[in-house]
Amino acid sequence: MIDKKQPSDLDANCIHFRREIKVSNLDLAMTDTGHPEVEENITREHCPSCDGERRCQVRGHTYVPWSWSDDVNGFSMSGGIDHSLLQCLGCETVFYLHNSWNDEDFDYWVDADGTERREANRTKTTYPKPVGQRPQWLEALGKKDHDLKNILDQVYTAADAECLILASIGIRTAVDRATEVLGIDPTEPFVKKLSELKSGGWIGDTEHDVLSVVTDAGSAAAHRGWEPDDHEFAKLMMAVEMFIPRAILFGKDVLDVKKAIPPKKNRIKNKKT
């Protein structure tokens, strides 16, 4: 909330923005009535399917301003939302863009003439949301163990929806399932399972410590509502994405290659006479 204030020179920028929107609405109306001279209404936005900025055709748009005031205490707040239906000109996906601003979130700067300017920061969300990349080995993992693949599918879905508490719990569940697939007794506590992974040669000292952190994080999320930030979650995810395909898909098969490698020949040293 901010103190209720009179319009100032700084509001000129907002007025300019609203005028732009009005022009956009006019263009859309002309497009809808089929005027051939209105060739296109194109914008550049983040396509959720391409997961990158693309030229998009505006299929529909409306701007809804809002305001709120507390006359007793003299506070007020206002903002607006652009609702747009867009179609990516790359992959042809049609998606909805929610593009909002409010008068508590502005960037300020001084232009070359020394005049203070401001511009509203915009928050953009698309529906559907961009789907993050899945590792290529996930399908192969499904053939090895459907339950483990299903757990990881749900972890990725939760992460895409920014539900990082649920995703962190899911990561711990994935490690738990992986230990079971490797033949470790599922009734053992996590500490014992990780210890058996190490003694069984599936992981080394460092990875044991890394997976301890991963499972502790999942436990903290499950029991104490701890939520990692994006950076922390990416590290947890990376640890699991390294452990699971190597242990489950490749296992110790690579050790069989050792039998095919010819032994080193002993080097005959020239003795000085």
Mask 47-66, x = binds Zn ion (CB under 5 A)? Answer: x-xx---x------------
- In the range 13-52, which residues lie near Zn ion by CB under 5 A? 47, 49-50
CB of 100 to Zn ion, least distance (A): 22
Q: What three-state secondary structure class fits 139?
A: helix
- How many Å apart are CA 144 and CA 248, to the nearest integer? 8
CB of 86 to Zn ion, least distance (A): 10
CB of 52 to Zn ion, least distance (A): 8
148 binds Zn ion (CB under 5 A): no
Who contacts 27 (Cβ-Cβ below 8 Å, separation ≥6)?
38, 41
- How many Å apart are CA 271 and CA 273, to the nearest integer? 6
Q: Based on CB atoms, which residue is closest to Zn ion, 130 or 142?
A: 130
90 binds Zn ion (CB under 5 A): yes
Q: Based on CB atoms, which residue is closest to Zn ion, 43 or 154?
A: 43
Helix (H) or strand (E) holding 62: strand 52-70
74 binds Zn ion (CB under 5 A): no
Q: Based on CB atoms, which residue is closest to Zn ion, 54 or 177?
A: 54
101 close to 80: Cβ distance less than 8 angstroms: yes
Helix (H) or strand (E) holding 110: strand 106-110
Query: Which of 166, 169, 192 has its CA nearest to residue 179?
Result: 192
The correct pick among 91, 131, 234, 242 for binding Zn ion (CB under 5 A) is 91
Instruction: Give yes or no for a cis peptide into 186 (omega within 30° of 0).
Output: no
Query: Which of 197, 181, 185, 174 has its CA nearest to residue 144?
Result: 181
88 binds Zn ion (CB under 5 A): yes
Number of chain positions touching Zn ion (CB under 5 A) = 8
CB of 91 to Zn ion, least distance (A): 3
128 binds Zn ion (CB under 5 A): no
Q: Which residues bind Zn ion (CB under 5 A)?
A: 47, 49-50, 54, 88, 90-91, 93
